[in-house]
Amino acid sequence: MTTAIKWFWYASPQTFFPLAGKIAGWCAPAAAVLAAIGLYIGFFVAPTDAQQGEAYRIIFIHVPAAWMSMFLYVVMAFWAAVGLAFNTRLSGMMASALAPTGALFTFIALWTGALWGKPTWGTYWVWDARLTSELILLFLYFGFMGLKASIEDERRADRAGAVLALVGVVNVPIIYFSVQWWNTLHQGASVSLTRAPSMAATMLAGMLVMALAFWLYSIAAAMVRVRCLILERAR
């Protein structure tokens, strides 16, 4: 039994193709099951919040989606870096495969954030630190996807996207902290949505299960998309 996993064995798109299929085949149903559990916890186990009533139940989508949006960007940047460093085509494809799902979760975080803001703080759009950072993250995703879409040559597209993703990932914490500071500077108008209701353990459990469900879903989606890319690029 070989102890060292042959990492570069799976760096070949041809070899990775069936593996991606298997991973997706396992992750997709697992995601569905976990989502069902998470939603059950969110609606039937977690108690009603004292201040926000039932409106707070949006948290079970909003927070996991926000976590995923940031996590996927980092993973995307990771694969981009690997692609630049080792010149592996598959890494660039992985980064491309993750972007749309990441952008999707970013949008969901924004949408649910807006709908949560209206009943609790009175307006749909609140320029609080998290929502504003999510909006900027959405622009970063769109920039990445836009750049790749604008470049015909696949190799140049992958490498250019990789540089952009790396510059972006370095900037994400800078953006986050500067937006946080900006929010405190202009306090008064908005109160932060991120100050969640006092977390009952069940609320946290619901969020974590949903986050896990989203994570497995992202893996499945990325695997399927990567298979599409492998086939499309092989022409």
Partner 1 sequence: MLGVARAVVERDLLLALRRKSDVGIALLFFVIVTSLFPLGVGAEPNLLRAIAPGVIWVAALLASMLSLERLFAGDHADGTLEQMLLGGAPLGVIAAAKVLAHWLVAGLPVVLLSPLIALQYDLAPALYGTLALSLALGTPVLSMVGAIGAALTLGLRGGGMLLSLLVLPLYIPVLIMGAGSVELASSGLSPAGQLLLLAAALVGAAAFAPWAIAAALRISME
Partner 2 sequence: MKDFFAAGGEFLAMGGYAFFVWGSYAVSAALIALEVVLLARRHKKALRKGS
- Asked if residues 199 and 67 have their Cβ atoms less than 8 Å apart, the reply is no
Closest C-alpha among 7, 165, 186, 197 to residue 92? 165
| 168 part of the interface to partner 1, by CB under 8 A | yes
- What phi and psi values does residue 53 have, to the nearest 5 degrees? 65, -145
Q: Which stretch binds partner 1 (CB under 8 A): 38-46, 75-83, 158-166, 203-211?
A: 158-166
Instruction: Give the binding site for partner 2 (CB under 8 A).
Output: 43-48, 53-55, 57-58, 61-62, 65, 100-101, 104, 107-108, 111-112, 115-116, 118-119, 217, 221, 224-225, 227-228, 231-232, 234
DSSP labels for 169-182?
Answer: HHHHHHHHHHHHHH
- Asked if residues 31 and 213 have their Cβ atoms less than 8 Å apart, the reply is yes
For residue 96, the minimal CB distance to partner 2 (Å) is: 13
Sign, CA dihedral 176-117-64-100, equals negative
Rg of the chain's alpha carbons, rounded to an integer? Answer: 20
| 164 part of the interface to partner 1, by CB under 8 A | yes
Q: Which does 48 bind (CB under 5 to 8 A by kind): partner 1, partner 2, none?
A: partner 2
| 140 part of the interface to partner 1, by CB under 8 A | yes
* Contact footprint for partner 1 (CB under 8 A): 136, 139-140, 142-143, 146-147, 150-151, 155-156, 159-160, 163-164, 166-168, 171, 174-175, 178-179, 181-182, 185
